């Protein structure tokens, strides 16, 4: 099953006998809150889920967006109407990062049928709703472990034994700038692979063949294992999604650079090389 769905295909599914559960997870780093945008107009029937408070735990030593408490995440999904047997489609404003985070969390906790709306709300051509739905509670019970997850030590080891991709902008990887975290640079051994290069100008994913070619050039097809990190585990989930489209499985280092760089004892590499 492809992990993305086009807007026309989603419209057909919503008009069919078994419409998917819709989750609106609009969020953008440094941007306005997603809830007002949701209230102004969303896909009919979509339930709003907040990335900062419902798709992440409180920020701290584990990073800016550590994984949420699994039991609390399950409660959020059940309130949104997610069942173990339901199809789920998640979308954001078009960047895809937040939607990919929700996709990854649901897949990691064992939900078998989750897709991201390719291009997000910007790709939707149907009507929007301003009503707040009240779905029948779902029965989804999260069981973590369905997708591979890395901690800091695991990421460091994978950078030596396999391929660890840094999904942040290249200038942050090099350490030229660091607008958020304590120090700039990257995990020694990681390769720069900005997630923005996985999509076209409209924010839609490149064709699977193009993504496969990109990741092959980076060494993903020959590596025994592939891992991804970013700033705080959001855009990294988007790169894991791109890798899945290309047919390559990858682990996510959820703590990412915000966790790694918070510990002065951890090594930091700078410049264009892997270090």
Q: Which two tokens stand for residue 180?
A: 């958020």
Closest CA relative to residue 124, chosen from 45, 36, 240: 45
CA 119 – CA 6 distance, rounded (Å): 8
Q: What is the C-alpha end-to-end distance of the chain, expressed in Å?
A: 37
Structure-token match 């695991």, residue found? 154
Give burial (CB, 10 Å; 0-12/13-18/19+) of 123. Answer: middle
H/E stretch holding 192: strand 191-192
List, in sequence order, the alpha helices (H) in 132-253.
152-161, 170-174, 208-218, 235-245
Q: What is the DSSP code (8-state) at residue 250?
A: -
Partners of residue 4 on adjacent β-strands: 116
Cβ atoms of residues 253 and 154 within 8 Å:
yes
* Chain length of the chain: 275
User: Residue 164 belongs to what H/E stretch?
Assistant: strand 163-166
Tokens of 197: 């290069």
Of 220, 230, 237, 245, catalytic: 230
How far is CA 131 from each of CA 18, 40, 45, 48, rounded to the nearest angstrom?
A: 21, 9, 8, 11
242 is annotated as an active-site residue: no
- Beta bridge mates, 63: 60
Catalytic annotation, residues? 230
């Amino acid at each position: 099953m492809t992990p993305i769905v086009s807007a026309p295909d989603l419209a057909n599914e919503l008009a069919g006998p078994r419409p998917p559960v819709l989750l609106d997870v609009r969020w953008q780093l440094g941007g306005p809150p997603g809830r007002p945008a949701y209230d102004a107009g969303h896909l009919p029937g979509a339930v709003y889920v907040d990335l900062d408070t419902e798709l992440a735990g409180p920020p701290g030593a584990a990073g800016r967006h550590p994984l949420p408490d699994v039991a609390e995440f399950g409660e959020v999904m059940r309130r949104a109407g997610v069942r173990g047997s339901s199809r789920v489609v998640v979308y954001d404003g078009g960047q895809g990062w937040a939607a990919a985070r929700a996709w990854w969390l649901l897949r990691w906790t064992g939900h078998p049928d989750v897709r991201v709306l390719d291009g997000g709300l910007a790709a939707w051509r149907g009507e929007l709703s301003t009503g707040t739905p009240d779905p029948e509670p779902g029965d989804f019970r999260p069981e973590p472990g369905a997708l591979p997850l890395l901690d800091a030590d695991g990421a460091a080891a994978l950078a030596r034994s396999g391929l660890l991709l840094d999904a942040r902008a290249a200038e942050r990887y090099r350490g030229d700038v660091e607008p958020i975290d304590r120090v700039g640079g990257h995990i020694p051994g990681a390769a720069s692979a900005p997630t923005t290069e996985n999509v076209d100008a409209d924010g839609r994913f490149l064709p699977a063949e193009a993504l496969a070619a990109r990741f092959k050039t980076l060494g993903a097809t020959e590596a025994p294992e592939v891992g991804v990190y970013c700033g705080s585990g959001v855009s990294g989930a988007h790169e894991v999604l791109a890798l899945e489209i290309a047919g390559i499985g990858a682990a996510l280092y959820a703590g990412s650079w915000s966790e790694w760089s918070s510990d002065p004892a951890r090594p930091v590499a700078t410049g264009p090389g892997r270090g």
